[in-house]
Structure 1
Amino acid sequence: MILCFITATIFWFLNALNKKYTSEISYPVSFVFDTTQNISIVSPLPKDISVELNGTGWKLLSLSLGYDLTPVPIEVENPVGTKVIATASLGPIFRNFFSDYQFINARPDSLYLDIQNRVSKEVKLYVEKDSLNLAPGFKVFSDIVIEPNIVTYTGPENFIKKLPDSMAVFNEKKELDKTVDEPLSLKKFQTNLMEITPLNVHLKIDVDKLIRLSQKVDVEKMNFPPELTLLDSSTTVSFTIQKHQMKELSPSDFKVTANYYNMSRDSLVYPRLMLYPSIAQDIQLDSLRLRVINRSRFKKKIPVYH
C-alpha cells in the first residue's frame, strides 16, 4: 500500500514538471567591454537580475537550483559614458539568451554603472614643522627631507581631480627627542580605488637638544700704541649649540678683536666678534665695552730688599 502511494506521488510530480509554469528567477549577468581601456570600476557592477520566464517545470527547476549557470553577457560599448542601462532595452538579449523559454520581463528597471577613466596625478609631500610634538628643549635644526618628495596617485578621474597638489605626512603625536631617520609608509593615504607610487619614502628630521654654553676668549688688540693696553684682556662668549655638536668646538673657533682707532673719548673700545663656528647660534659677548689703560700707571712696584 505504501509503495503504491510513493509510486503515485512520483508519477504525479513528474507529470507536473512536464507542464508549463511562469516563474521569477534570479539570474547572473556579466558586463562585457573593452578591457584594454584604462578605466576604473568605482562601484561594484550588478551581479544578477530577476527574470520572469515561462517554461516547463523541469527547465525552470534547473534554473532555480542555480548550478553552473552561464551569466547573461551585456555588452557596453562606452563604459565611461554609460551611467544607467534601462532593463527594457535588453529585451532582445534576454529573449535570445533564454531561447528555450518565453521571456516575459526583467527587474530592476535600471542597471547603474560607475566606471571612470583611470588617470594619474603627482602630489608633493611635506611635513608641517609646527605640528611636530618636540620634547622640551628640542628643536628641528635643518630642512626636513622626504625622499622622494613627490608621489603619483592613480585612480578614477573624479577622485584624482579632488586631490590637493601637496599633502602633509608624518602626523605623529609622540614626543620627538631624537633625530628621525627612517622609512615612512604611505599606506594609510592609499584607498582601494587610488594607488600611490611609491608606497614607501624615506624621512629625515634633524632633531636635537639646545644647550647654552660659555667660552672665555682672549681679545686681540689692533692698532694699539705700545704704552696702551686693555684692562680686561679677555671676554666671555655665550652661545647656543646642539648637544651632539659640543665635541666639535675649539677655543680657536672664536675670535674677538678691539681696534684702538675705534676708541671713544672716555677710553672705551667696543669688542667685535670676527670669527665664530657656523654651528653656534644666538651668540652674545658679556662685555659690550672694554676699558683702555696706560701700562705705566698699572705697573707693580717691585720691593727692594737690602
Structure 2
Amino acid sequence: MLGPWARAGQLGRWLVHPFISQEPVFYRAAAVCLLAAGLFWQMNALNKTYSTRLMCPLAWYYDTTRYVSLRPLPAAVPVVVTGQGWRLLRANLGMGLRPAELHPVPRPGTRYLSASTWQHSLQRALEGLQVDEWASDTLRLTFDRYATRRLPLTLAAPDSGRALVYTARFEPSHLTFRGPASVVARLPSPYPVALPAGTGPGAAQLPVRAPALVQPAATQVRAELRAR
C-alpha cells in the first residue's frame, strides 16, 4: 500500500502532466488568463465600499507678515473615512486629495481652532468620502504678533562665571531684533554677545545668537576688543 507521501506525489504528477511538453504559446495564453482574472478580481474589489484611516493634508492661510505661530502648525490630521475602493486607493496614494484650507484668525492668545471651523474645511477637501471619525474636537495652536526692538550690545559674561578680561566697542553699537512680541519683550538690554574661546585682543567678528523665532538684523558684528 502506498504511503501518504507517495500518493501526494502521484496526485502532483497527475496535475502537472497536462502542462508538460506544451508549446510556448500555451504558457503565454495561461499567463494572460491568470492576469486577466487577477485584474477582474481587483477591479471588482475596488468597486466595493470600505473604511480606512487617512492623513488629510492641511494648508494654512493667515497674514504671515504680521503674525507668527509659536508652535509648528500641523501639516495633516488623521481621519477615519468610508468610501469607494477606487477613491480610497487614490487618496492613500496622494492623488485627488487636496489640502483642507484653514484660515485662522491669528490673534495673540488664540489657543485653538474650533471644530466647527476646521472640520467643515476637511469635509470639503474630502469630497466623495464620508468622515466617520475625527482626530479630535480642536486643533491646538498659538499665535503672536511680530515685534521689533533695537538693543545696545555688550559682551556676555563667561560661562565659567569669571570676570570679563576685555572691553568691547561694537560696530554697530545697537542691533534690531524681530520676532514674536512676547519673546522680543523678554530679551535682555543690553543684549549679550558671546566671545568665542581663543579670541584675543584686537578686531574680531563675533556671532550674534538669538532665541528661536527671533531674527537679528545681523548674524555677526564687528568688535574692537581691549584688555581691561
How many angstroms apart in 2 are the aligned matches of 1:175 and 1:86? 53
Relative to structure 1, is the Cα distance of residues 77 and 164 closer, same or farther in structure 2, using a 3 angstrom cutoff? Answer: same
Which sections of structure 1, spanning at least 5 residues, go unmatched?
134-139, 209-306
Give the C-alpha shift of residue 173 in structure 1: 4.7
Whose Rg is larger?
Answer: 1
> Does 1:190 find its partner at 2:210?
yes
CA 1:201–1:169 in structure 2 vs 1: closer, same or farther (change >3 Å)? Answer: same
SS at match of 1:193: coil
The aligned length equals: 195
- Distance in structure 2 (CA, Å) of the matches to 1:148 and 1:175: 19
Q: What is aligned with 1:51?
A: 79
Partner SS, residue 74 of structure 2: coil
**Counterpart AA for 1:201:** V
RMSD: 2.9
Deviation per CA, 1:258-297: give whole Å up to 9, x if none.
Answer: xxxxxxxxxxxxxxxxxxxxxxxxxxxxxxxxxxxxxxxx
| CA drift at 1:5 | 4.0
Between Structure 1 and Structure 2, the one with more strand by share is: 1
* 2:61 aligned partner: 32
> Do the aligned residues in 2 keep the contact of 1:116 with 1:158 (CA within 8 Å)?
yes
Once residues 90 and 198 of structure 1 are traced to their aligned partners in structure 2, the CA distance between those partners, rounded to angstroms, is 39
Tell whether the 8 Å contact from 2:54 to 2:78 is kept in structure 1 after alignment. yes
| Structure 2 residue 184 is matched with structure 1 residue 155 | no
Task: Please list the CA deviations of residues 73-123 of structure 1 after superposition, one character each: whole Å capped at 9, or x if unmatched.
Answer: 012133544321244653332333323222223214432212211111222
TM-score by length of 2: 0.72
SS of residue in 2 equivalent to 1:33: coil
Partner of 2:47: 18
Q: Deviations over 1:122-176 (max 9, x none)?
A: 222123797334xxxxxx7xx7422222211111112112111113335355485
Identity of aligned residues (%): 23
Aligned ranges 1:93-112 → 2 under 5 Å:
93-112=121-140
Shift of 1:28: 0.5
Alpha carbons 1:87, 1:106 under 8 Å: kept:
no
Displacement of 1:207? 4.1
Q: Structure 2 regions of 5+ residues with no counterpart? A: 1-29
TM-score by length of 1: 0.55
Higher relative contact order (CA 8 A, sep 6+): 2
TM alignment of 1:1-306, pairs within 5 A: 3-35=32-64, 37-67=65-95, 69-87=97-115, 89-127=117-155, 131-133=163-165, 144-174=168-198, 176=200, 179-180=201-202, 182-187=203-208, 189-207=209-227
For the residue of structure 1 that corresponds to 2:134, the secondary structure is: strand
Deviation at 1:68, TM superposition (A): 6.4
Would you say the 8 A contact 1:118–1:154 is kept in 2? yes
Paired residues of 1:27 and 1:51 also in contact (CA < 8 A): yes
Residue 51 of structure 1 aligns to a residue whose secondary structure is strand
Tell me the distance in 2 between the aligned counterparts of 1:172 and 1:16.
Answer: 66
Indicate the structure with greater helix content. 2
Separation in 2 of the partners of 1:199 and 1:40? 21
Corresponding residue for 1:295? none
